Amino acid sequence: KNQVEQSPQSLIILEGKNCTLQCNYTVSPFSNLRWYKQDTGRGPVSLTIMTFSENTKSNGRYTATLDADTKQSSLHITASQLSDSASYICVVSPGGDMRFGAGTRLTVKP
């Protein structure tokens, strides 16, 4: 069983709408959690990195939250744009390596 579970697997929204992607993890101990955006056929690009003491972090229209007690994180996208269509990957590190979720495939339609 993967130690990093993301939901939903895929999501379709209309341009301009908001959405929230979920990441639940069982990785222990916890060092940091990252969210990446990956366009089709490209390498992932970092959106945020959060350590244990941080419970929210923003990068433009992207806001990540972290609840280390319940081992949950979310990525909220505000006022979606067509260019937000991509896979979003949650990555959790216990400190020595990185554990990748399978990603959520987001499609933004006009």
Partner 1 sequence: DGGITQSPKYLFRKEGQNVTLSCEQNLNHDAMYWYRQDPGQGLRLIYYSQIVNDFQKGDIAEGYSVSREKKESFPLTVTSAQKNPTAFYLCASSSGLAGGPYEQYFGPGTRLTVT
Residues that bind partner 1 (CB under 8 A): 2, 4, 31-32, 34, 41-46, 49, 51, 89, 93-103
User: Which CB atom, from 12 or from 79, has the smaller least distance to partner 1?
Assistant: 12
User: Which CB atom, from 19 or from 90, has the smaller least distance to partner 1?
Assistant: 90
User: Which CB atom, from 32 or from 74, has the smaller least distance to partner 1?
Assistant: 32
- Three-state SS for 27? coil
Please, what is the minimum distance in Å from the beta carbon of residue 36 to partner 1? 8
Paired tokens of 33: 């959690």
d(CA 80, CA 33): 23
Please, what is the minimum distance in Å from the beta carbon of residue 67 to partner 1? 19
Please, what is the minimum distance in Å from the beta carbon of residue 75 to partner 1? 16
Torsion angle defined by CA atoms of residues 110, 15, 74 and 88, in that order, rounded to the nearest 10 degrees: 40
Please, what is the minimum distance in Å from the beta carbon of residue 53 to partner 1? 11
User: Which CB atom, from 51 or from 55, has the smaller least distance to partner 1?
Assistant: 51
Return the residue matching tokens 């993890």: 25
CA angle (97, 103, 104) in 5-degree steps? 155
- Three-state SS for 82? helix
